[in-house]
Amino acid sequence: MKIVIIGSGNIATHIGKAFLHNGFEVVQVISRNKNHAKILAEKLNGEAETDFNKIAKADIYLIAVNDSQIENVVKKLNRFFEVKTLTTAARPLVIYTAASVSINVLENEKWNSGVLYPLQSLKKEVDADLKNVPFIISGKSKLIKEIATSISINVIEMNDAQRLALHVSAVFVNNFTNHLVAIAQEICEAEKIDFKLLQPLLKETFERLEKMPAAESQTGPAIRGDENTIQNHLRFFSNPTFKKVYKELTFSIQQNARFHSK
């Protein structure tokens, strides 16, 4: 199976590597950024390309670009596959990796469409074993399932709505929790406090989340309704953005508790 990878970011890198390790042939990496295309193409033993008019023939086209670029890439592919003479079985498979985009954006009689969304926070620079990462798939082609199961043992089919909800949840579980810890690290750095002091708390937080629903293990001034402490904390902030985050999360904890106690 020959693959063209469109994109050279975090997801393109990790899925590209997984393809290579599973015996697929990555013939080309296309990216607007020449340097990034080169670096990834070298890793995947493919050719680097920046000009979409020189896109290679392949069985599978993997679109791993920013969500905002997907429609643009689809338009270009549409021009590239000029005629729709092929039977369903003979058509190439075009996949994108974006969780929040409807598969309707991709649907086209010139190719078979699929979504392949790895539910993990992937960084180019950090190695990842995708075998246990849940892969969310959509699309009618059987090939999409075969590809996913060749990479991961945890493959789940979902529709657009579920995939979107899952992506939003993932943003809360990973991106937002990570940012909150970044804020704590900034505060500690500014006050010359060793963040290591907070590592046991961080560990306990996570371990408790594995054992019980988060709503049941909520502690702190917000859930206690401890207005004195909340006011002391709000006076502490010099950064208005962090202060706003503190306010909104405190409000959300209190709203949610009220909702559940009704």
CA distance 142 to 110: 17
User: In the set 26, 55, 77, 119, which binds its own copies (CB under 8 A)?
Assistant: 119
User: In the set 6, 101, 116, 144, which binds its own copies (CB under 8 A)?
Assistant: 101
User: In the set 50, 100, 108, 150, which binds its own copies (CB under 8 A)?
Assistant: 100
Q: How far is the CB of 59 from its own copies (least distance, A)?
A: 28
Judged by CB under 8 A, the chain residues 40 through 99 that form the site for its own copies are: 66-68, 98
Q: Which residue number, 38 or 233, has a Cβ lying nearer to its own copies?
A: 233
User: In the set 29, 77, 122, 144, which binds its own copies (CB under 8 A)?
Assistant: 122
- Count of residues near its own copies by CB under 8 A: 93
Judged by CB under 8 A, the chain residues 132 through 191 that form the site for its own copies are: 132-134, 156, 161-162, 164-188, 190-191
Judged by CB under 8 A, the chain residues 223 through 262 that form the site for its own copies are: 223-224, 226-229, 232-233, 236-237, 241-242, 244-246, 248-249, 251-253, 255-256
Closest Cα to residue 6, out of 190, 41, 150?
41
Q: How far is the CB of 9 from its own copies (least distance, A)?
A: 8
User: In the set 123, 140, 142, 149, which binds its own copies (CB under 8 A)?
Assistant: 123
Closest Cα to residue 95, out of 116, 111, 77, 78?
116
CA distance 251 to 239: 19
Sign of the Cα pseudo-torsion (32, 34, 35, 41, in order): positive
Q: Which residue number, 6 or 27, has a Cβ lying nearer to its own copies?
A: 6
Q: How far is the CB of 47 from its own copies (least distance, A)?
A: 26
Residue 201 in contact with its own copies, rule: CB under 8 A: yes
Is the CB of residue 118 less than 8 Å from the CB of residue 15? yes
Q: How far is the CB of 170 from its own copies (least distance, A)?
A: 6
User: In the set 120, 138, 141, 151, which binds its own copies (CB under 8 A)?
Assistant: 120
Q: How far is the CB of 246 from its own copies (least distance, A)?
A: 8
Q: How far is the CB of 2 from its own copies (least distance, A)?
A: 29
Question: What angle, 0 to 180 degrees and rounded to 10, lies between the N-to-C axes of helices 34-43 and 10-21?
Answer: 20
Q: Which residue number, 86 or 184, has a Cβ lying nearer to its own copies?
A: 184
Q: Which residue number, 88 or 214, has a Cβ lying nearer to its own copies?
A: 214
Sequence-distant (6+) residues with CB within 8 A of 32 are 50
